[in-house]
Amino acid sequence: MRDAFLPLPDESRLWVRALDRALDAEGRQRLEAGLTEVLGNWRHKGHVYEGAWEIFEDRLLVVVEPNMATNPSGCAIDGMLRKVDRLTQEAGAALMDEDQVIFRVGGQLRSMPKAEVGERLADGTLGPDTPVLDLALFNLGQLRQGQLEKALARTWIGRKYKIAVGA
Query: What are the tens digits of pLDDT across the range 79-138?
Result: 999 999 999 999 999 999 989 999 999 899 999 999 999 999 999 999 999 999 999 999
140-163: b (≥16 Cβ within 10 Å) or e: bbbbeeeebebbbbbbebbeeeeb
Domain-embedded: residue 85: yes
Instruction: Over range 18-25, report the average pLDDT.
Output: 93
Whether 7 and 75 map to the same domain: the answer is: yes
Whether 83 and 8 map to the same domain: the answer is: yes
Cβ neighbours of residue 96 closer than 8 Å, sequence gap 6 or more: 18, 19, 20, 102, 111
**Residue 6 banded pLDDT, cuts 50, 70, 90:** very high
Phi (first) and psi of residue 89, to 5 degrees: -65, -40
Q: What DSSP assignment string belongs to 122-158? A: HTTSS-TT-EEE-TT--BHHHHHTTTTEEEGGGSHHH
Q: Report the distance separating Cα 20 and Cα 148, nearest Å.
A: 17
Whether 77 and 40 map to the same domain: the answer is: yes
Comparing C-alpha atoms, which of 117, 156, 158 is closest to residue 134? 156
> Considering the chain, what percentage of its residues have pLDDT values greater than 70?
98
Domain-embedded: residue 83: yes
User: C-alpha distances in angstroms, 93 versus 59, 97, 104?
Assistant: 9, 12, 20
Cβ neighbours of residue 16 closer than 8 Å, sequence gap 6 or more: 60, 61, 62, 133, 135, 136, 137, 143, 148
Q: Report the distance separating Cα 164 and Cα 157, nearest Å.
A: 11
Whether 62 and 125 map to the same domain: the answer is: no
Domain-embedded: residue 15: yes
Domain-embedded: residue 141: no
Amino acid at residue number 31: L
Whether 113 and 68 map to the same domain: the answer is: no
What is the extent of the structural domain holding 58?
3-90
Domain-embedded: residue 167: no
Whether 13 and 63 map to the same domain: the answer is: yes
Last residue of a domain, one of 53, 72, 90: 90
Whether 112 and 63 map to the same domain: the answer is: no
Domain count, the chain: 2
Whether 86 and 105 map to the same domain: the answer is: no
Whether 16 and 69 map to the same domain: the answer is: yes
- Provide the whole-model pTM: 0.89
Domain-embedded: residue 16: yes
**Residue 72 banded pLDDT, cuts 50, 70, 90:** confident
Domain-embedded: residue 140: no
What CATH number is attached to the domain comprising 26?
3.30.70
Tell me the pLDDT of the chain averaged across its residues.
93
Domain-embedded: residue 165: no
